[in-house]
Amino acid sequence: MENFKRTHYCGALSLNNLGECVTIIGWVSKKRNLGSLVFIDLRDRYGIIQVLVKTDEINLPDVRNEYILQVEGIVSKKEVPNPTLKTGDIEIIASKITVINTAENPPIIVADDTDANVDTRLKYRYLDLRRLCMQKNFIIRSKIVKAVHEYLDANDFIEIETPILTLSTPEGARDYLVPSRIRKGSFYALPQSPQLFKQLLMVSGFERYYQVARCFRDEDLRADRQPDFTQIDIETSFLSQDEILTLTEGLIQKIYKDVINYDVELPLRRISYDDAVNIYGSDKPDTRFDMKLVSIKDILSDNQNDLIKNNKYIKCIKAENIASDTSRKVQDEYNLTASKFNMKSFAYLKYVNSKLEGSIVKFLSELEQQQIIALANLHENDLLIVAFSNNLKNINFGLGAMRTLIAKKYNLIKPNTYDILWVVNFPLFERSEETGEISPCHHPFTRPLDEDLPKSETKPYEVYSYTYDIVMNGYEAGGGSL
RNA sequence: GGACCAGUGGUGUAGUGGUUAACAUGUCACUCUGUCACAGUGAAGAUCGCGAGUUCGACUCUCGUCUGGUCCGCCA
């Protein structure tokens, strides 16, 4: 077996290496044959570098896509730089090329902008993962875990592994089951989280525990949800909610700094669950765009129209400058999104030629119209979507879904920006939609807010809890509780 | 458990009852000294997911089935 040596990585070379004689190893990403000049893009984990072969000076063996080559050559400045490439200023002028391994013609294009569909990519996953954009995901993940270890180790945490084959742990999901060989007819459950174990560890006096923990939940997939996943699992003794949030913020700040060199400003914004839901229509709001939910019930308190009179809640969102773009068909699309939250009653008001237009305008007095225009701060061509409901949760989440949909449709979100905030103090209980029974919102071990404790018997749905979710760009990235 | 969408050369798509099954890209061959989505010329490559049915005739319509995707339920 030959032992192939290299002196540098392809993607790590730069102008600093100018003039050096280097040996690199990589996969052929692309070959451009101009006759006596052949350009080869050679790829390794660090990136792509162009190799220049002058075929009247050296021998070029048969080279095709995804062949693995060892290349000796001089790092040189390109005659025409390519600013779109990290190594675009330089190239290797090859003096010797060795084929380490050949390859069949790959079924998918091994490049960031491959055109293959997901199932094809999964069938040839080992080729899909050669793409640098895919490797980047794994590299980021690895860097995150490294930062987690460093931060928590520095904060006196102990990493402890907990069992995978266990009794059922009481989370909300279905367990994955593994049949027992020794006790026939019995099953292990895979942990939905290390919840019970870490609480036992606290009882045992470890005080600060963490684990990069694999969790298993036998529920259906979504685009952003897998049945087995990894969570950074933390448990401490004696800390207040404020202390645990501060500790976690430090971790988040370090991860962003170490991984993408982004400075997260601390402390993070904290908003209550009730505010998140009432103002943004979501318990995981994306606050990179405005479109806040506004109640106009007060303005319409004297209105005798049935729709207005008979609905306890009337709230609206303003979408700027899209009134003329919002046909009946588009309205139906918005309504469909909200209908998932049992929302049916909507009215669309368009502010055109300095006045309101829309089906319900005829039921609004001149004063009411002026008040709405002022409250919503309407400008020409703004669209005001008004929702009517007697269910506060439905109207909030329904409008929240519309809000997100419109923001995506009109690109209201600045790309490459980070919006990180805490949503705190969730309700302790919720009522099951089907059975009507009371059940924990979070999990059964959650501590109620001290000041709400007296209400726990009489008004359980008004009891809030020491709970907190970390929300990034509208995604729930984590959460916990006392 | 449910709803919807999609399966056509290697890949991605077009194709609304009769086509030589089209286009792009990739591949192969040849030409080419500055390409980086190289360019030019030429070539090969598809029993249209599978099964049944309707029809003179099905990639196309119907039913079933398999696979993939998105969403609802579910996921504290």
Verify if strand B has an atom below 7 Å from the CB of A447: no
Residue A104: CB less than 7 A from any atom in strand B = no
pLDDT for A416: 79
A82-92: average pLDDT: 92
Give me the CA A36–C1' B40 separation in Å, rounded.
16
Burial environment of residue A358 by CB neighbours within 10 A (0 to 12, 13 to 18, 19 or more): middle
pLDDT value at A1 more than 60? no
**ipTM of model:** 0.85
d(CA A123, C1' B18) / Å: 38
pLDDT over 90 (residue A326): no
* Res. A317 pLDDT band, cuts 50 70 90: very high
pLDDT value for A460: 85
**Rounded Cα gap, residues A406 and A13, in angstroms:** 44
Q: In this predicted structure, what is the pLDDT of residue A170?
A: 63
| Higher pLDDT pick, A186 / A42 | A42
| A439 closest-nt by C1' vs CA | B76
Residue A227: CB less than 7 A from any atom in strand B: no
A109 touches strand B (CB under 7 A): yes
- Taking the model in full, what pTM does it have? 0.87
pLDDT for res A443:
76
Task: Give yes or no for a contact between A4 and A100, defined as CB atoms under 8 angstroms apart.
Answer: yes
SS (H, E, C) A14-33: CHHHCCCEEEEEEEEEEEEE
pLDDT reading at A270 higher than 60? yes
Question: Cβ-count burial of A416 within 10 angstroms (0-12 exposed, 13-18 middle, 19+ buried)?
Answer: exposed
Give me the pLDDT at residue A224, please: 80
| Separation between the CA of A105 and the C1’ of B26 (whole angstroms) | 9
Q: What are the distances in angstroms from CA A191 to CA A172, A175, A272?
A: 12, 7, 30
Measure, in angstroms, how far nucleotide B20 C1' is from residue A62 CA.
Answer: 37
Stronger pLDDT, A230 or A3, i.e. the higher one: A230
Residue A340: predicted pLDDT: 75
Q: Provide, in whole angstroms, the distance separating residue A118's CA from nucleotide B43's C1'.
A: 31
Question: In this structure, what token pair is assigned to residue A41?
Answer: 């893009």
Asked if the model's pLDDT at residue A433 lies above 70, the reply is no
Nucleotides on strand B lying under 7 Å from protein C-beta: 1, 10-13, 25-28, 31-39, 67-76
The reply to whether A226 has its C-beta less than 7 Å from any atom of strand B is: no
**Residue A273 tokens, joined:** 């669950």
Closest nucleotide to A107 by C1' from CA: B10
How many angstroms separate the CA of A207 from the C1' of B51?
63
| CA-to-C1' span, A220 to B68 (A) | 15
**pLDDT tens profile A131-141:** 998 899 899 99
Range of lowest pLDDT (A24-28, A102-106, A427-431): A427-431
d(CA A480, CA A425): 11
If you average pLDDT over residues A250-274, what whole number do you get? 95
Whether A174 CB is under 7 Å from strand B: yes
Give the helix ranges, DSSP H, for A210-342: 241-260, 273-275, 306-309, 328-339
A88 CA: nearest nucleotide by C1': B36
Q: Is the CB of A84 under 7 A from strand B?
A: yes
Residues of chain A (196-215) having a beta carbon less than 7 angstroms from strand B: none
Instruction: Point out the residue nearest to B27 (C-alpha to C1').
Output: A105
- Considering only residues A117 and A208, tell me which one the structure prediction assigns the higher pLDDT: A208
**Which nucleotide is closest to the Cα of A401 by its C1'?**
B71
Question: CA A71 – C1' B26 distance (Å)?
Answer: 26
For A120, the 3-state DSSP assignment is helix
Report the percentage of chain A scoring pLDDT > 70. Answer: 98
Looking across all nucleic acid strands, the nucleotide with the smallest C1' to CA distance from residue A467 is B76
β-strands A158-159, A208-216 pairing: parallel
Question: How does the average pLDDT of chain A come out, rounded?
Answer: 90
Q: Which DSSP symbol is given to A323?
A: G
A235: confidence class by pLDDT, cuts 50, 70, 90: very high
Kindly tell me if the per-residue pLDDT of A117 is higher than 70: yes
The beta-carbon contacts of A221-229 under 8 Å, at least 24 apart in sequence, are A224/A475, A227/A176
- Residue whose CA is minimally distant from B68 C1': A119
Q: Compute the half-sphere exposure of residue A77: CA atoms within 13 Å on the CB side of its CA.
A: 3
Report if CB A119 to strand B is under 7 Å: yes
A121 CA → B51 C1’, Å:
28
pLDDT at A94 over 70: yes
Contact between the CB of A265 and strand B at under 7 Å: no
Cα A250 to Cα A1, A140, A272: the distances in Å are 49, 18, 21
Mean pLDDT, rounded, for A408-420:
84
Distance of alpha carbon A209 from alpha carbon A331, whole angstroms: 51
Q: Which nucleotide is nearest to A80 (CA to C1')?
A: B34
Phi, psi of A398 (to 5 degrees): -65, -50
Nucleic strand B under 7 Å from the C-beta of A29:
no
The two counts, helices (H) then strands (E), for chain A are 10, 21
Q: What is the pLDDT of residues A351-389, one digit of tens each?
A: 999 889 988 899 999 999 999 999 999 999 999 999 998
DSSP state of A311: -
Query: Would the Cβ of A478 be found within 7 angstroms of any atom in strand B?
Result: no
Which nucleotide is nearest, taking the CA of residue A433 and each C1'?
B73
- Within A 319-378, residues with CB less than 7 Å from strand B: 340
pLDDT given at position A342: 78
- A437 strand B contact, CB < 7 Å: no
State whether the beta carbon of A451 lies below 7 angstroms from any atom of strand B.
Answer: no
pLDDT at residue A222, as a whole number: 82
Using a pLDDT cut of 90, give the percent of chain A over it: 56
> Which nucleotide is closest to A105, CA to C1'?
B27
Give the pLDDT of residue A432.
67
